[in-house]
Amino acid sequence: MKRIIECVPNFSEGRDRQVIDAIAAAIASVEGVKVLDIDPGEATNRTVITFVGEPDPVCEAAFRGAAKAQELIDMRKHHGAHPRSGATDVLPLIPVAGITLEECAELARKLAERLYTELGIPCYCYEAAAYKPERKNLAVCRAGEYEALPEKIADPARRPDFGPSEYNDTVARSGATNVGARNFLVAVNFNLNTTSTRRAMAIAFDVREKGRKAREGGSLTGKLLKDADGNQIWIPGTLKGCKAIGWYIDEYGIAQVSMNITDIDATPLHVAFEEVSRAAAARGLRVTGAEIVGLVPKRVLIDAGRFYLERQQRSLGISEDEILKISVKSMSLDDLKPFNPHEKVIEFLMQDEAEEARRHRLVRMTAEGFARETASESPAPGGGSISAYMGALASALATMVANLSSHKRGWDDRWKEFSDIAEQGQTLMQELLDLVDEDTAAFDRIMECFSMPKGTDEEKAARAAAIEAATLNAASVPLRTMEASLKAFPLLLAVAQNGNPASASDAGVGALAALAACRGAALNVRINSSGLADKAPAKPLLDRAAAIVEEARALEARVLAAVDNNIGD
């Protein structure tokens, strides 16, 4: 899985578009970073820029953005309605995919150290990146705002985690930056079949972590209860890591519970939806749908779709698009307006369509187009790509039989057994589909190496080394196809022996395709290995390929025997 993080810095300029655009351009100048949103606020004199990418590019972009803000924003002249302590006020790193919060915290600390070391910007580390427990709270780090920095820097207990021991001109101009790491925040509004703000607020109090103030007799209007020290007593709500209020929206003519889920691990979106629905029903109301504000990581919707599929006792081994559709419909995310996951999911927005098309040129073709491309004068796609595609089809057939078995009448208590097989089949099918294009790419790389210059001895040596490396890779890719195709046999055997008998022939065809994939890919291992000048690296590849073919033959025979037993005479 690609490692993706989000960064949402807040800069202390919301009125001068030239300054805002220059900061955004500095961020966007880093290759591999995609700016998703620029949101200036005139009253707050503050701009929030959202960008995403892999960790190293995002950290570099954050540094460049902060450097540009330091250059263009003079905090001695800044005024706005929002609390702030620096030209780059807050700089949070947020895990989206393939990376943990702890890893983001370590990245944030290194970024804070670099900002001070290279730019002289004092930095406090907050939330998950905090060095001191009290600094997990941003408000503690930003206490007194920009104006309090001289006295905070002079006080060892309040001094920044990275910063000078004395107030200086650099600090006077740039202020201090709060660098942190936090979980992804999901902003969501739950639509209610009421116009009552008071009832929406009551539901919000029921579910938000902070809860509501305790009153005598448990009533809504009784005297507020305090403890022995005179502090207000609170009754906590049911959802961890959630903040919520109730409001009325003129545009829609309904009341909503507006929620920020600050910890999607503690409270996934679907859990919040179910709990707000329960709390609403207890008050005689109904949640008619949900409205996601901003963007979400893909896993938020995938996890929700899987949750509702499990509740329906339906197979989880379906396509990602189908899982997303279940998620959208189960929570009525399209209640107020159309909901397109490709416009709301961060990973989809990050995709470079041209690059995706290039990397998946073959598998994005129609079946007819793929066949015609194979039949053309071009040497690629060839046997290696075809072998990978046969392996993908074998996995697809295993998945199909498992899904049909999961939904078979009278087999309701076995749905999970077949769902697990279908999930494995989906994963394996995707791996083999990727290998379809990868095999052709490996062949193309050899052709590119043959086009390298060979006018000097150095160029000849470089060309020969490149051809050797590309050829070894071209022999390794079909071996990966063999390894993956071999994994299809246990799935096919399971559905042939225990699955829907009416689909036994499909499992048999899958076994034939899987064996053909293994044998075909073995031929490609052999022919590409024969082109190596150094035969030593080829021997383990050839030995493993031969072993896989023998294992595949035996497994195919077992699958076909089970199929014959199901079909009968």
Q: What is the per-residue pLDDT across 284-327, written as a single tens digit (0 to 9) for each? A: 999 999 998 878 889 999 999 999 999 999 999 999 999 999 99
**Which residue type, as a one-letter code, is found at position 507?**
A
Please report the pLDDT score of residue 378 as a whole number.
Answer: 83
Among 82, 360, 420, 444, which one carries the catalytic annotation?
Answer: 82
Q: What is the per-residue pLDDT across 471-510, written as a single tens digit (0 to 9) for each? A: 999 999 999 999 999 999 999 999 999 999 999 999 999 9
Q: How far apart are CA 435 and CA 524, in angstroms?
A: 13
DSSP 3-state of 175:
strand
Confidence of residue 163 (pLDDT cuts 50, 70, 90): very high
Q: How far apart are CA 240 and CA 232, in angstroms?
A: 20
Closest CA to 475 of 448, 442, 505, 499: 442
Q: What is the per-residue pLDDT across 78-123, written as a single tens digit (0 to 9) for each? A: 988 788 999 999 999 999 889 999 999 999 999 999 999 999 999 9
Please report the pLDDT score of residue 220 as a whole number.
Answer: 67
What tokens were used for 307? 């949750």
Q: How far apart are CA 438 and CA 451, in angstroms?
A: 20
Domain boundary among 349, 366, 395: 349
547 and 448 in a common domain: yes
Sign of CA dihedral 418, 419, 422, 428: negative
Q: What percent of the chain has pLDDT over 70?
A: 98
442 and 389 in a common domain: yes
| The total number of structural domains that make up the chain | 3
244 and 141 in a common domain: no
Confidence of residue 562 (pLDDT cuts 50, 70, 90): very high
Torsion of CA 79, 84, 85, 87, to 10 degrees: -70
439 is known as an active-site residue: yes
Mean pLDDT of 511-519: 97
Provide Rg for the chain, Cα atoms: 30
Query: How far lies 24's CA from each of 18, 44, 235, in Å?
Result: 10, 18, 44
Please report the pLDDT score of residue 185 as a whole number.
Answer: 86
Please report the pLDDT score of residue 237 as a whole number.
Answer: 94
Confidence of residue 364 (pLDDT cuts 50, 70, 90): confident
206 and 61 in a common domain: no
Cβ count within 10 A of residue 530: 12
415 and 334 in a common domain: no
Query: How far lies 498's CA from each of 494, 502, 504, 535, 562, in Å?
Result: 6, 11, 9, 45, 9
For 189, the enclosing helix (H) or strand (E) is strand 186-192
Range of the domain at 54: 4-181
Inform me whether the pLDDT recorded for 354 exceeds 60. no
380 and 427 in a common domain: yes
Q: How far apart are CA 347 and CA 298, in angstroms?
A: 6
Give the CATH number, domain containing residue 155.
Answer: 3.30.990.10
Angle (deg, nearest 10), helices 488-498 and 457-486: 10
466 and 366 in a common domain: yes
247 and 202 in a common domain: yes
Domain boundary among 166, 181, 196: 181
Residues in contact with 12: Cβ distance below 8 Å, sequence separation at least 6, in sequence order: 45, 46, 69, 73, 75, 78, 80, 84, 86, 87, 88, 89, 175
525 and 417 in a common domain: yes
**Quick check: 50 and 58 in contact, CB under 8 A?**
no
| Phi, psi angle pair for 214, to nearest 5° | -75, 140
363 and 342 in a common domain: no
29 and 16 in a common domain: yes
Give the CATH number, domain containing residue 194.
Answer: 3.30.70.670
**Quick check: 240 and 209 in contact, CB under 8 A?**
yes
Q: Using the 8-state DSSP alphabet, how is residue 516 labeled?
A: H
Residues in contact with 191: Cβ distance below 8 Å, sequence separation at least 6, in sequence order: 252, 254, 256, 287, 288, 289, 290, 291, 332, 335, 336
Inform me whether the pLDDT recorded for 358 exceeds 70. no
Tokens 């470079």 belong to residue = 352
- More confident position, 228 or 73: 73
Confidence of residue 126 (pLDDT cuts 50, 70, 90): very high
Domain boundary among 147, 181, 215: 181
Give the CATH number, domain containing residue 407.
Answer: 1.20.120.680
207 and 165 in a common domain: no
Inform me whether the pLDDT recorded for 356 exceeds 80. no
Q: What's the length of the chain?
A: 569
